[in-house]
Amino acid sequence: MRGLLICCLGSVFFHGAAAVAEPGVGTPTEVSCARAQSFEKTFRIAQQGEIFAAGWTGPLRKPVVARIAGGAVRWCREDLDAGGKSSVTGMIARDGNLFVALSVPASSGTVFERLTAQGWLRRGGHGAATVTVLLKLNAENGQSVAGTFLTASADNGSAAEFRLKSMQWDAENLRITAWAGWQPRMKNRVPMTCTGAGPFLTTVILLPDLKTVLDAKAERCVCCE
């Protein structure tokens, strides 16, 4: 999973409200909220002298997301998943918000449900498959704003794998490209019908409030909305 994490992070870009910033660089490393220097070689996205950075901390490898400006830590979140079951797989920002994608085993996703209660998909589901949770943070202070899960569906009703490939802006909306292990979901959350073996390359277009999917499609899959 760590190898995939590096791959995915390398393909994610940071977009500001008025300009495209530098591509994400670096590999997630151990960081400390008390030391701005610890974020220098971890994964980060930059614009206008500021950076947003992601890494992990402690023996449980809890995910960490921080904003660094003027050589100082302006805010640092290491409380997103105290159990360390998840890892950051991408970040993108716009209009004062930072969107953070994390991979997490579906059955362990309950720790995020307080943040996804109003989202398009409120729960990660059952089973051990790795799914994605997408969080929206206030870029100025790091406070949680919204969230949603992104999962596929297995035949037995449990969650199937949904791994982030990239995030980018599509006009004012967020385009998520991912690999679905089995049936990805239509915009009404109902599983698609797919042919052949997974994974299936999947595209989901989300409103920035993370409450609505405008479009969802996948290679070798059909839907009936």
Nearest to 139 by CA among 82, 66, 212, 207: 66
Secondary element (H or E) of residue 176 = strand 173-180
pLDDT of res. 25: 82
Secondary element (H or E) of residue 2 = helix 2-10
Q: What is the C-alpha separation between 128 and 46, in angstroms, rounded?
A: 34
pTM for the full predicted model: 0.89
Tokens of 182: 């089995």
Tokens of 40: 């220098």
DSSP-assigned states of every residue in 122-136? ----SSS-EEEEEEE
Q: Are the C-beta atoms of 75 and 59 separated by less than 8 Å?
A: no
Alpha helices, H only, 14-140: none
Question: Which residues, in sequence order, are bridge partners of residue 147?
Answer: 135
| pLDDT tens digits in sequence order for the chain, 225 residues long | 334 333 345 344 433 333 334 567 888 899 999 999 999 999 999 877 789 999 999 999 999 999 999 999 999 999 999 889 999 999 998 889 999 999 999 999 899 999 999 999 999 999 899 999 999 999 999 999 999 999 999 988 899 999 999 999 998 999 999 999 999 999 999 999 999 998 999 999 999 999 999 999 999 998 755
Nearest to 73 by CA among 111, 104, 32, 112: 32
Q: In sequence order, what are the residues at sequence separation of 6 or more whose Cβ sits closer than 8 angstroms to the Cβ of residue 53?
A: 31, 39, 42, 43, 44, 45, 65, 66, 67, 68
What is the rounded end-to-end Cα distance, in angstroms, of the chain? 34
Q: What is the C-alpha separation between 207 and 74, in angstroms, rounded?
A: 28
Residue 27's identity, in one-letter code, is T
Q: Are the C-beta atoms of 93 and 14 separated by less than 8 Å?
A: yes
Region for 206 from its dihedrals, namely left if φ exceeds 0, alpha if ψ lies in -120 to 50, beta otherwise: beta
